[in-house]
Chain A
Amino acid sequence: MNVAIVKYNAGNIQSVLFALDRIGVNAEVTDDIVKIQQADKVIFPGVGEASSAMRYLKERKLDEVIRELKQPVLGICLGMQLLCKHSEENDTPCLGIVPVNIKKFPGDKALKVPQIGWNNIYDLRSPLFKEIPQNSYIYNVHGYYAQDSQYTIAKCEYGIVYAAAVSKDNFYGVQFHAEKSAVVGESILKNFIAL
């Protein structure tokens, strides 16, 4: 099994590497186009800001490379948002692979933005969530969310119902930090590797 983690100007990549290590998977963090293209699985992580991440990907032609991938691809957090169509974060056109828009949480006194902490996911429908019980808790840190749509494969609620995970064809995206979501997160990563 050859797993590539896309290296770009977004944080938290190390945590994904450690999480894979804990489930016995060796992965390589790389921005080498050929290595990414030839990997069995590609993970596209990220913590950061949408427009600067998109600019970085475009400068290195990684945007085109990611769009053309045929093997299973997992976007995490910002990585998931970048797989979508457009983000309200600095009005950024994203990769457009999953036709869903990314919105900012409205926020109020009771619901702080970003959402930080453990929330439950439900309406799970994807092999990504094989044997994951409904209402399992996952760890979130995000101020923007993917709108619920036909591409939703897991829902979550924070003031509104949003897509905690999306998928289209060989592309999967989770808003939450699977790499930091304890045993549940590790099971989701294992499921992805087993796709």
Chain B
Amino acid sequence: MLTKRIIPCLDIKDGRTVKGTNFVALRDAGDPVELGALYTKQGADELVFLDITATVEKRKTLAELVRRIAKHVNIPFTVGGGISSVADVNALLENGADKISVNTAAFKNPQLITELANEFGSQCVVLAIDTRQEEDGEWYVYLNGGRTKTDSKAKDWARQGVELGAGEILLTSMNHDGTKQGFALDITRYMVENLPVPVIASGGGGKMEHFKDVFERTNVDAALAASIFHFNEISIPDLKDYLLANNIPVRKQ
């Protein structure tokens, strides 16, 4: 049976993880390779590395970092952040990334999704959508790491993105992100039921129950979280044992 995926997300700046971690097992809490390898050992199903480095010059170190990750991590990983061209993606895939995620650049130039899908296949193009529910009840697309509101609705953009060639949707609810109050069930369910590609729920996972809820109450394929894993508030083995005990299919090694 295809299992539900648990995906830790690491934010990278200038080649280091930001926000830090409190793992005693790590010699260097800022090294994304070491942290990625630890999550892999603990049973993470996939990893996402989001590069938030601003300058182009420093972004060149990203390809080198990806290469180091690929050498040490034996599960699939996605790299995102600031990707805006076929050349960007080529450099990441050549260095061992399995998938890439696009966000703002794809919204500004939707054709990018098609170019990437044609060049590398839909299976490696993840469309990341940051969305916020406004007072009118609608979910709107935000860009630039959630700083810029658009007039587009997330439901429409997701559908269009898949038609253009995106192979997976990484859906982050800004209303829920950082709250640790649970995932956005309604918009996640809508996406899962209306899109022909897998959906990853992101934002709001704070307790093990939240993961159970999102998998039980929507047919979502994967759930992503960051700080709760970094600060060991939830360990991946415990989370998987808990989900299995609640009859949610997850991979145990």
Contact = CB atoms under 8 A, between A and B. Distances in A.
B79 to A, nearest CB: 13
Given A117-B222, A118-B45, A186-B74, A14 B95 contact: yes
Nearest to A115: B2
Interface in B217-232: 219, 221-222
A contact residues, range:
35 or more
9 contacts: A22-B72, A47-B124, A48-B121, A112-B197, A114-B122, A117-B4, A118-B2, A137-B253, A180-B74
B96 A15 contact: yes
A185 B98 CA distance: 16
A137 B3 CA distance: 9
Query: Dominant SS at the B interface?
Result: loop
B1 A139 contact: no
B216 interface: no
A127 interface: no
Contacts of A18: 70-71, 96
Nearest to A77: B123
Interface string A3-20: 000000001101100110
B5 interface: yes
A107 interface: yes
Interface of A: 11-12, 14-15, 18-19, 21-22, 47-49, 107, 109-110, 112-120, 137, 139-141, 157-158, 177, 179-186
B120 interface: yes
A109 B193 contact: yes
In the A-B complex, list the 5 residue pairs whose CB atoms are closest, starting with the nearest.
A137-B251, A118-B251, A141-B123, A119-B2, A180-B76
B75 interface: yes
B198 interface: yes
Contact of A183 (B167, B222, B253): B253
A156 to B, nearest CB: 9
Given A47-B123, A109-B193, A117-B198, A182 B75 contact: yes
B94 interface: yes
B83 interface: no
A148 to B, nearest CB: 17
Interface residues of B, number: 35
- Which one of A47, A115, A179, A181 has the highest number of Cβ atoms from chain B below 10 Å of its Cβ? A47
A43 to B, nearest CB: 16
B1 A119 contact: yes
Given A113-B196, A116-B221, A118-B251, A139 B75 contact: yes
A158 B221 CA distance: 14
A175 B72 CA distance: 23
B2 A14 contact: no
A126 B5 CA distance: 28
Given A49-B121, A177-B76, A117 B45 contact: yes
Contacts of B70: 14-15, 18
A114 B1 contact: no
A180 B98 contact: yes
Given A47-B124, A141-B76, 5 more contacts: A14-B95, A112-B197, A118-B45, A141-B123, A182-B74
Contact of B5 (A15, A112, A118, A179): A118
A97 B24 CA distance: 52
